[in-house]
């Protein structure tokens, strides 16, 4: 435990901006681990649930409750409901996630540190060490008040502000689409949804409900990677098949082998289902032609994706494929011109007359950072997406976007890292600028198609492992207590809980997770390990030559 400041030592001050899931977990660690600091969290709304806490009726999350919950506040185990996925019982539904965050805030008495209804309008480096944070009450007119802080953690979220589409056609915003039943009462319209991310396909599917009588188009620039919410292997959530053994294979090899595996899974879904039976599968009364078309679209979208399997975001809202196969959603390419009247065909040379009466932009997000830090503040300047490489005392939590995975449990690892650095238990590398530059070059190569000014794209577990390494929290054999427990943890669903093995309560809770990966795949991965070893060795040998 850190010593309390001695009499006369000035009290240091930490500002946390935003009280969504990232702000809350940062606040929890800060008040526990920074004795002697005054911690203030500014939240512009009157809630602690962020953008996701209060979604439209019927919402189902894309990441499972088990993997998304904070490890320090576990409520759900990895049980799979025996109803073939009908209830979506392994996922957050409706306002479940908001309820969870409310319970979390109550359990650790966090609200008394939050100044609700206070919007931070600017964060500026003070002349001495420290930061001037200007705050304005949300409901009052007039200028703000400026307070000095020693450190600032920005947790304003990376999905709050959608990029607009320039058009005079009436637009539906993310805010509209997340209210009520999530369709804004839109009926009988011709709608184009732009973007193939989780939000985009979800909006398109809802608006295409036949009761609404809309004609819905989904405009995609390229193919997308669609992962099944429930995997044909044993019919379990895909999250539950990703384990540490699989992740221990080098991403280069995983990209190559994974791509073939995914294609085989799409083309031979029924075989996979036969070979790896599920406790229950949802009966499908679907016309065989619709089933075949769904499969064909999944394959076509994946084949047209412009980057390697683990270098671009995966979309797990796969229900939209059924809407596409039934003809309720038409996939088109980009618009022919800025009038947005005609669109290219998807991956084809035809031109389609669409003439939309509404558009829904879901083509990515605008930075929430520039609103408070000016144009010069961008995610790219933060080492590992959380520590400003040049300005000590400025941090981000919640700006890492996983290729596959979830944001809140990454935020938990980032929050532990950042608070550790503020408290001096994690050191700020002396050569941080050089390290940052090297990592940025690597990311430039790997994530060339993604906008890294506003997001920090990551492969969830390798990224969290890197932070854990700097915190000396890499899950070691000894940390699991026995070889048996360690081996089980390699096979069970991957979780960030393994970084907190020193907490017996967390270790016990997550040690009980079942293993879902079939023995034959475990054997294949083990057989791959020597090849992985050679692959890594060859890459290591090749690196110095490339530099020379
Ligand atoms: C409908 C929906 C479903 C989602 N489903 C998933 C999922 O299944 N899995 C997953 O991993 N992610 C999901 N997400 C993504 C989700 O955004 C993140 O997982 C999570 O909410 C991020 O939390 P955050 O605290 O970083 O950001 P946010 O939730 O955006 O919270 C940011 C907070 O900062 C406050 N704020 C912003 N600017 C200021 C300012 N200037 N001053 C003061 N306060 C400010 C905001 O009011 C807000 O409360 C979903 C998002 C939505 C909208």
* Residue 489 CB less than 6 A away from ligand 1: no
Of 105, 113, 100, residue with least CA distance to 31: 113
Q: Measured from the CA of 23, which atom of ligand 1 is nearest?
A: 25
What is the pLDDT, as a whole number, of residue 417?
98
Q: What is the pLDDT of residues 472-525, one digit of tens each?
A: 999 888 888 899 999 999 999 999 999 999 999 999 999 999 999 999 999 999
Average pLDDT estimate for 118-138: 90
The pLDDT of residue 548 = 31
Banded pLDDT at 367 (limits 50, 70, 90): confident
pLDDT of the residue at 9: 67
Tokens (6 digits) for 68: 């998304």
356 lines ligand 1 (CB under 6 A): no
Q: Is residue 4 over pLDDT 60? A: no
Mean pLDDT over 267-274 rounds to 90
Judge if the beta carbon of residue 156 lies within 6 A of ligand 1.
Answer: yes
Asked if residue 281 has pLDDT above 80, the reply is no
pLDDT value at 1 more than 70: no
Supply the pLDDT for residue 64.
Answer: 96
Token reading at 392: 């000590």
Taking each helix axis from N to C end, the angle separating 251-267 and 288-303, rounded to the nearest 10 degrees, works out to: 160
Asked whether the predicted pLDDT for residue 283 surpasses 70, the reply is no
Per-residue pLDDT at 53 exceeds 90: no
| Cα–Cα distance measured from residue 240 to residue 517, given in angstroms and rounded to the nearest whole number | 8
Ligand 1 test: best mutation among 43, 157, 374, 408, most atoms within 8 Å of CB? 157
- Chain segment 228-260, per-residue pLDDT in tens: 889 999 999 999 999 999 999 998 888 888 888
Q: Which of 476, 442, 435, 395 is nearest to 26 (CA)?
A: 395
Q: Say what the pLDDT of residue 371 is.
A: 85
pLDDT at position 310 is 67
Q: What is the pLDDT of residue 134?
A: 96
Higher pLDDT, 152 or 367: 152
Is the predicted pLDDT of residue 400 greater than 70, yes or no?
yes
Task: Determine if ligand 1 sits within 6 Å of the CB of residue 182.
Answer: no
Nearest protein Cα to ligand 1, atom 49: 50
Q: Which residue among 17, 50, 119, 138 is best mutated to probe the pocket of ligand 1, counting the most ligand atoms within 8 A of its Cβ?
A: 50
Ligand 1 centroid to Cα of residue 52, in Å, is 6
Nearest to residue 403, comparing CAs of 227, 245, 240, 202? 227
Handedness of CA 138, 140, 143, 147 (dihedral sign): negative
Helix H or strand E segment including 228 = none
Phi and psi (nearest 5°) for 310? -100, 20
* pLDDT tens, residue by residue, 198-221: 889 999 999 999 999 999 999 999
What is the residue-wise DSSP string for 446-495? HTTTS-TTT-EEE-HHHHHHHHHHHTT----HHHHSSHHHHHHHHHSBP-
Question: Are the C-beta atoms of 153 and 396 separated by less than 8 Å?
Answer: yes
Question: Coil, strand, or helix at residue 117?
Answer: coil
Residue 400 dihedral angles phi and psi, to the nearest 5°: -85, 130
- Please give the distance, rounded to the nearest whole angstrom, from the Cα atom of residue 418 to the centre of ligand 1: 19
Q: Point out the ligand 1 atom lying closest to the alpha carbon of residue 56.
A: 1
């Amino acid at each position: 435990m850190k010593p309390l400041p001695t009499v006369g030592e000035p009290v240091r001050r930490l500002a946390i901006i935003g009280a969504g899931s990232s702000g809350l977990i940062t606040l929890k660690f800060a008040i526990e681990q920074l004795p002697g600091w005054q911690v203030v969290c500014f939240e512009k709304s009157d809630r602690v649930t962020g953008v996701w806490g209060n979604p439209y009726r019927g919402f189902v999350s894309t990441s499972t409750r088990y993997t998304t919950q904070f490890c320090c506040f576990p409520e759900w185990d990895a049980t799979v409901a025996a109803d073939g996925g009908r209830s979506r019982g392994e996922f957050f539904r409706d306002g479940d996630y908001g309820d969870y965050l409310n319970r979390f805030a109550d359990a650790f008495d966090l609200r008394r540190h939050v100044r609700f209804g206070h919007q931070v309008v600017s964060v500026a480096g003070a002349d001495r060490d420290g930061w001037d944070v200007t705050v304005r009450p949300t409901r009052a007119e007039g200028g703000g008040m400026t307070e000095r802080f020693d450190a600032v953690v920005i947790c304003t979220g990376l999905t709050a502000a959608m990029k607009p589409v320039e058009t005079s056609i009436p637009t539906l915003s993310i805010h509209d689409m997340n209210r009520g039943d999530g369709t804004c009462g839109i009926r009988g319209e011709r709608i184009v949804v732009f973007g193939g991310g989780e939000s985009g396909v979800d909006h398109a599917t809802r608006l295409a409900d036949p009761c609404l009588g809309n004609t819905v188009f989904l405009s995609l620039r390229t193919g997308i990677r669609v992962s099944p919410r429930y995997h044909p292997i044993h019919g379990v959530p895909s999250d539950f098949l990703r384990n540490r053994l699989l992740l221990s294979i080098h991403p280069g090899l995983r990209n190559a082998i994974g791509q073939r595996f995914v294609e085989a899974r799409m083309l031979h879904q029924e075989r996979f289902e036969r070979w790896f039976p599920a406790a229950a599968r949802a009966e499908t009364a679907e016309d065989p032609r619709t089933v075949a078309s769904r499969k064909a679209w999944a394959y076509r979208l994946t084949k047209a994706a412009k980057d390697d399997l683990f270098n671009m975001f995966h979309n797990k809202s796969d229900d939209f494929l059924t809407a596409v196969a039934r003809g309720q959603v038409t996939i088109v390419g980009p618009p022919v011109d800025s009038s947005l009247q005609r669109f290219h065909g998807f991956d084809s040379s035809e031109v389609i007359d669409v003439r939309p009466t509404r558009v829904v932009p879901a083509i990515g997000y605008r930075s929430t950072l520039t609103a408070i830090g000016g144009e010069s503040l961008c995610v790219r300047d933060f080492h590992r997406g959380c520590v400003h490489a040049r300005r000590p005392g400025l941090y981000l939590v919640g700006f890492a976007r996983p290729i596959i995975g979830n944001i809140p449990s990454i935020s938990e690892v980032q929050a532990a890292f950042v608070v550790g650095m503020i408290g001096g238990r994690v050191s700020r590398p002396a050569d941080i600028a050089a390290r940052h530059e090297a990592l940025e070059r690597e990311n430039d190569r790997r994530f060339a198609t993604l906008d890294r000014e506003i997001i920090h794209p990551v492969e969830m577990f390798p990224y969290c492992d890197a932070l854990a390494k700097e915190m000396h929290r890499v899950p070691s054999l000894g940390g699991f207590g026995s070889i048996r427990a360690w081996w089980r943890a390699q096979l069970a669903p991957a979780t960030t809980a393994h970084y907190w093995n020193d907490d017996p309560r967390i270790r016990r809770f997550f040690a009980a997770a079942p293993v879902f990966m079939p023995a034959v795949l475990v054997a294949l991965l083990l057989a791959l390990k020597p090849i992985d070893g050679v692959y890594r060795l060859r890459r290591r040998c090749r690196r110095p030559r490339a530099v020379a």
